[in-house]
Amino acid sequence: MEVPAELEKEIDERITHYPVSKRSAVLPVLHALQHHFGYISEEAVEWAARKLELEPIKVLEVVTFYPGFRQSAPGKYHIRVCRTLSCAMAGSAELMESLCKAAKIDRSGVTHHHPIAVGEDGRFSIEFAECLASCGTGPVCMVNDDFHEKVEDAETLLSKYRD
């Protein structure tokens, strides 16, 4: 794992926001790493630990606590389907099913500890997410940083990302 100088500079800058204790910068550092690499690998955990002068296990504790941090590589486009109550009632399970079908993703290997399924071609990956904060317009999902409300047709949604 090679952390580019520019990213390291950005991370160093973020750490300066926490002058009392470096360890408080663990979340911003992990966010920056995930944003760049797409997920947080074991090497990334160790890199962050060195950077913050922590034991690697302390960083791993944080990474595994937040479902927002991924420990395996997602596809080029990562879809997060909301499954909290409003969206669930509006059909998030069906949405998940149709998205998987359209993107050719097999979710049979998904467990509590491995929530992400990646399609064969690596273009799309998918997981359930908790409330994405638009309960009135369910079912909602996110594709990378794009937010989609009242999603009805999986193909229509995915066509925007088939470049």
Residues that bind another protein (CB under 8 A): 42, 55-58, 60-61, 64-65, 112-113
Q: For another protein, give the closer residue by CB, 24 or 64.
A: 64
Q: Closest approach of Cβ 54 to another protein, in Å?
A: 9
Buried b or exposed e, range 135-154, using 16+ CB within 10 angstroms? eeebbbbebeeeebeebeeb
Label the pairing between strands 146-148 and 117-118. unpaired
Q: Closest approach of Cβ 48 to another protein, in Å?
A: 13
Q: For another protein, give the closer residue by CB, 63 or 99.
A: 63
Q: For another protein, give the closer residue by CB, 38 or 56.
A: 56
Q: For another protein, give the closer residue by CB, 44 or 90.
A: 44
Q: Closest approach of Cβ 13 to another protein, in Å?
A: 28
Query: Rounded to whole angstroms, how far apart are CA atoms 60 and 41?
Result: 10
The count of other CB atoms within 10 Å of the CB of residue 156 is: 11
For 146, the 3-state DSSP assignment is strand
Q: Closest approach of Cβ 113 to another protein, in Å?
A: 7
Q: Contacts from 13-22 at CB under 8 Å and sequence distance 24+?
A: 15/51, 15/52, 22/52, 22/53, 22/54
Q: Closest approach of Cβ 14 to another protein, in Å?
A: 23
Q: For another protein, give the closer residue by CB, 65 or 145.
A: 65
